[in-house]
Amino acid sequence: MSPEYSIILLTVFAGAGQGLFACLVAGDALGFITGAPMDINIMLTGAAVSLGMTIAGVGSSFLHLTHPERGIKTIKQWKKSWLSLEAILLPVFMGFVALYGILAYYGADTSLRLIAGGLGVVSAMALYLASGMIYAAVPYIKEWSTPYTPINFTMIGLASGGALQVGLLRFFNGPHITSIVMIAGLFAVTFTAMVIKLAYYLRNRRLYQPLTIQSALGINHPDIVLMDMGTGYMHYNTKEYDYKGYQNSRGTIRIASIALLFILPLALMTFDYMPLFNGDSAVAVGGGVLALITAVSMIAGALMERWLFFVDGSHAQNLYYGGSKDFAAPNPILQASKKGAPLPPG
């Protein structure tokens, strides 16, 4: 598929904003339980950054619409469409983030603030599901049609947002116990996200395409080839659903995305945060600079990962135009006929 950059920005920025807010509320709740509350500057900055990133993602998504003024129509099919649910949940999530920030600013009761934050986290999780299912619910694109898709959206969003939240804790020198727990949690989420993403890539390497020229004709012969692509010129379908860009570089881009999104952040967190585990609550190596580099690295890696997600998707309609993907795994249902066997009479 052709990558739609406005949707890439939406899913990455909004996903990181949702993850940041989820980790912010978790840290706030932990501070309430342990009696070591987070500084109000962390809460206000975290809410502002989360809201800002989500708004930036939503703003970029309007570039995807031919008629942005008709965007309100997306909510009408909320009973049948994951896209409609996403369009509804985005402002709901932003509303809870804003409410959380307002309650923190005016010093409202902690339990009231945590209730608003908890509802925001629930809406964030529902939003991850809706965003991922927009693509997982498309059965004709085998690379997307898997439970891995919404799980990956969720885990990568939580990891990148968690890196931002840990960076805020480091910058404002947050409570020691909260920093320790959040760092350990970020390690676990990032490592789990990496394992799931690698499993997703492995699963796609073993895919087979059940729709072939042979199955379309009902003639199972290996020498059948497409002689006419169905049109004499390139048009929307051939360009939008069969993206040819950077074909020879996608393996390198995939390795770079894994390094920036998972490997480098895990290494940087180890160097930057290990002093905290030794009881030193003061600013550790780099004065929080490595925390910022970690967050930037994860966002950059997430942008590359989401680009690959779109370009790796192969639409079934490409069969008609001769641009179908060569899947590595053979179709286990079909038995290849003998090479050189005569075709049925015309």
Domain ranges of the chain: 5-339
Give me the pLDDT at residue 173, please.
84
Do residues 58 and 181 make contact, with C-beta atoms less than 8 angstroms apart? no
Type and span of the H or E element at 300: helix 289-311
Query: Taking 80 as the threshold, does the pLDDT of residue 279 lie above it?
Result: no
Q: How far apart are CA 245 and CA 5, in angstroms?
A: 14
Q: Which of 75, 143, 165 is nearest to 329 (CA)?
A: 143
Distance CA 45, CA 2 (A): 36
Angle between helices 5-34 and 176-205 (to 10 degrees): 140
Residues written for the chain: 346
The two most distant CA atoms of the chain are separated, in Å, by 83
The C-alpha atoms of residue 163 and residue 183 are separated, in whole angstroms, by 9
Q: What is the mean predicted confidence (pLDDT) over 62-66? A: 71
The residue behind tokens 């004499």 is 232
pLDDT at residue 331, as a whole number = 58
User: Global pTM?
Assistant: 0.87
* DSSP three-state, residue 145: coil
User: Do the Cβ atoms of 15 and 153 come closer than 8 Å?
Assistant: yes
Query: 222: closest CA among 210, 209, 208, 212?
Result: 212
> Is the pLDDT at 320 greater than 80, yes or no?
no
Measure the CA–CA gap between 224 and 11, rounded to whole angstroms.
41
Per residue in 79-92, pLDDT (tens digit) is 788 999 999 999 99
| 242 or 151: which leads in pLDDT | 151
CA distances (Å), 215 to each of 105, 220, 316, 327, in order?
A: 63, 7, 13, 15
* Residue 180 burial by Cβ neighbours in a 10 Å radius (0-12, 13-18, 19+): middle
* Residue indicated by tokens 């709740």: 29
* 280 pLDDT more than 60: no
pLDDT at 334 over 60: no
pLDDT at 275 over 90: no
Q: What is the pLDDT of residues 203-262, one digit of tens each?
A: 998 887 666 777 777 777 777 777 766 665 677 777 778 788 888 899 999 999 999 999
Per-residue model confidence as pLDDT tens digits over 123-144: 999 999 999 999 999 988 889 9
C-alpha–C-alpha distance, residues 168 and 188, integer Å: 19
SS3 201: helix
Q: What percent of the chain has pLDDT over 90?
A: 54
Res 285: pLDDT: 46
Rounded to 5 degrees, what angle do the CA atoms 155, 158, 160 make?
105
- Cβ count within 10 A of residue 293: 17
Question: Can you tell me the distance from the alpha carbon of 233 to that of 216, in angstroms, rounded to the nearest whole number?
Answer: 23
Q: Which CATH superfamily is domain 5-339 in?
A: Formate dehydrogenase/DMSO reductase domain (1.20.1630.10)
